[in-house]
Amino acid sequence: MSPLIEDNHGYTNGNDRAAKPRFVIIGAGSRGNAYARATVDSGLGTIAAVIELIDFKRKLLGSKYIWGKGKASPDQAFSSFEDFVDWEVQRRADEAAGKTVSPGVDGAFICVRDELHTKVVTALAPLEIHLMCEKPLSTTLQDCLQTQRALEQYQQKVFAIGHVLRYSPHNLLLRHLVREQNVIGDVLSIEHTEPVGWWHFSHSYVRGSWRKESHTAPSLLTKSCHDIDWLMWMLCSQMPGSDEPPHLPSNVSSRGSLKQFRRSRKPKEAGTATNCLSCPIKHKCMYSAPRIYYDKHLAEGNAKWPVEIVNPEVETILHQEGADKAKEALFSSLAEDYDESTPVQDIESRSWFGRCVWESDNDVCDDQFVTFEWDDDPQHGHTAKTANFHMIAQTLAQCERRGWIYGTKGDIHYDSSHITVHDFENGTTKDFTPEVPKNSHHGGGDDGLTQQFVKAVAAVKSGEMEVSKAQTEFLGVTIEECVRSHAAVFAAEDARREKRVVDWQEWWSNNVV
């Protein structure tokens, strides 16, 4: 048990801990657990409550980070965010009436399904607590704008978005070298690639929750919106303390499609099988669900991601009942399938991790290019440049981003762990290897974002800073900038679907302003 777990009544032990910000986790999936762990490990804040519909997942997160081996008190566990809002409104009314109440929370981590983000943010905004919303902000441009209006209308509080790439030690150093030290002069072009990973894409975007654009959103948004945000951050966002306006793109274009995971590519030997457990080639197909989830993971003792996404109870079963029972539980989940008689809403409402990748209902791109172009802006000293982004599913590397940055005085090659700077003027090469925190995903970005958000909340809570200053100093991004980077994704998708080059200013005027 973590030494930072609170007592059963939500109060921390010791005067120093009592002053730490208190947070509620909304959604006890992998992202909710990641932010809970990062908050507790940082020692900067405490997890006071969890909101989760699934009883097992709610209890699992709570026992890890809130109530330990005891039982949850009524203010620590909720099955819905509506219940939490009702409870908090009543708690405040009781407090105003002079009754003894629990302390409440200072902020929330919103980690529910993407399509619910706007609904949850708009419900919590009137409570005027600090909010961190997992990416993407929402699944449509109109919902992003609605979220922005709600935040601006109801609260002057710290707001963070799960664009974790901004907060990894690697990317912070890379931006410092490029934007502050100008080690390669003016940037002329960037080539940036996100290799999703051949089985990771099949897990999340063929069998998983993000497989259908109509049900969630395009893969460029659900998988790569923080890469697009990273490009905007590297090339057009303001530097801290600068009064210069952002250098906005002049146009956007994109090409992409679903190339591999289609029924026409199904191996003939698989016959009519729609589920891997009944498939005649399950032992040799590289996308066989038993091979991916059992052979590659559970059989090796890993019951966490992606196994926990298939069945969140497997890890507990493994530790309490043994490997055979854990395998039985996993294969029971993999055996679930649908046919022509299954209602469409039932198919689309959940994931099907044992489903044949060639027989799924997926339609999102597994290969996509996006190009942004900037014109000269001599008034503010900005020069023309180009950014090319490539999202590709079929790779050995899994989310280990890589690329090149070309400048007037040199170039930079980077991957997820190294940065190499070539200086054309003096013929030198320098290598940088930023330290990556252990147990933190996205190169330390998960921990980095969590710590900055909690620090910002703590600074406001203590009266040390106003919200605007804490927002700038700790998070370095505003809700306006967050919406702009999402808008860049939606503009790119319009360009892809319509097979045209989108004029940024015209598109912005027609869709945002």
Q: Where are the domains of the chain?
A: 15-157, 186-198+206-258+365-407+480-511, 263-348
Helix (H, G, I), strand (E, B) or coil at 73: coil
Q: Name beta bridge partners: 385.
A: 374
Question: Which stretch of 5-19, 99-113, 184-198 has the lowest confidence by average pLDDT?
Answer: 5-19
H/E run at residue 24: strand 22-26
Measured torsion, CA atoms of residues 235, 240, 245, 249, in degrees rounded to the nearest 10 = 10
Measured torsion, CA atoms of residues 132, 134, 139, 142, in degrees rounded to the nearest 10 = 10
pLDDT above 50: residue 3: no
Residues 6+ apart with CB under 8 A from 368: 219, 220, 224, 254, 255, 256, 257, 390, 391, 392, 496
Q: How far apart are CA 401 and CA 218, in angstroms?
A: 20
Please write the tens of the pLDDT for every residue from 155-170: 689 999 999 999 999 9
The CB-side HSE value for 226 (13 A sphere, CA atoms) comes to 23
N- to C-terminal Cα separation, the chain: 50
pLDDT above 70: residue 16: no
Per-residue CA distances from 221 to 205, 325, 409 (Å): 12, 38, 34
- In whole numbers, what is the pLDDT of the chain averaged over residues? 93
Identify the CATH number of the domain defined by range 15-157. 3.40.50.720
Question: Percent of the chain scored above 70 by pLDDT?
Answer: 96
Q: How far apart are CA 401 and CA 390, in angstroms?
A: 10
362 close to 261: Cβ distance less than 8 angstroms:
yes
Helix (H, G, I), strand (E, B) or coil at 99: coil
pLDDT attached to residue 239: 82
Q: How far apart are CA 132 and CA 380, in angstroms?
A: 33
**Across residues 6-29, what is the average pLDDT?**
64
Q: What are phi and psi of 123, to 5 degrees?
A: -75, -35
**Closest by Cα among 222, 223, 196 to 139:** 222
**Closest by Cα among 222, 206, 214 to 138:** 222
Q: Name beta bridge partners: 183.
A: none
38 close to 31: Cβ distance less than 8 angstroms:
no
Please write the tens of the pLDDT for every residue from 276-291: 999 999 999 999 999 9
Higher pLDDT, 484 or 243: 484
Q: Report residue 440's pLDDT band, with 50, 70 and 90 as the boundaries.
A: low
**Across residues 138-154, what is the average pLDDT?**
94
pLDDT above 70: residue 41: yes
pLDDT above 50: residue 187: yes
Measured torsion, CA atoms of residues 270, 340, 53, 324, in degrees rounded to the nearest 10 = -30
pLDDT above 90: residue 436: no
pLDDT above 70: residue 127: yes
Please write the tens of the pLDDT for every residue from 346-390: 999 999 999 999 999 999 999 999 999 999 999 988 999 999 999
φ/ψ region of 161 (left if φ > 0, alpha if ψ in -120 to 50, else beta) reads beta
pLDDT above 70: residue 17: no
**Across residues 267-282, what is the average pLDDT?**
97
Q: How far apart are CA 185 and CA 476, in angstroms?
A: 23
Is residue 283 packed enough to be buried (19+ CB in 10 Å), middle (13-18) or exposed (0-12)?
Answer: exposed
pLDDT attached to residue 29: 93
Measured torsion, CA atoms of residues 39, 311, 292, 203, in degrees rounded to the nearest 10 = -70
pLDDT above 90: residue 450: yes
pLDDT above 50: residue 9: no
pLDDT above 70: residue 34: yes
**Closest by Cα among 123, 134, 130, 122 to 161:** 134
Tokens of 415: 């991957």
pLDDT attached to residue 444: 84
Q: How far apart are CA 169 and CA 129, in angstroms?
A: 28
φ/ψ region of 243 (left if φ > 0, alpha if ψ in -120 to 50, else beta) reads alpha
Q: Report residue 5's pLDDT band, with 50, 70 and 90 as the boundaries.
A: very low
pLDDT above 90: residue 13: no
Question: Percent of the chain scored above 90 by pLDDT?
Answer: 90
pLDDT attached to residue 10: 39
Question: Which stretch of 111-120, 231-240, 396-405 has the lowest confidence by average pLDDT?
Answer: 231-240
354 close to 292: Cβ distance less than 8 angstroms:
no
Identify the CATH number of the domain defined by range 186-198+206-258+365-407+480-511. 3.30.360.10
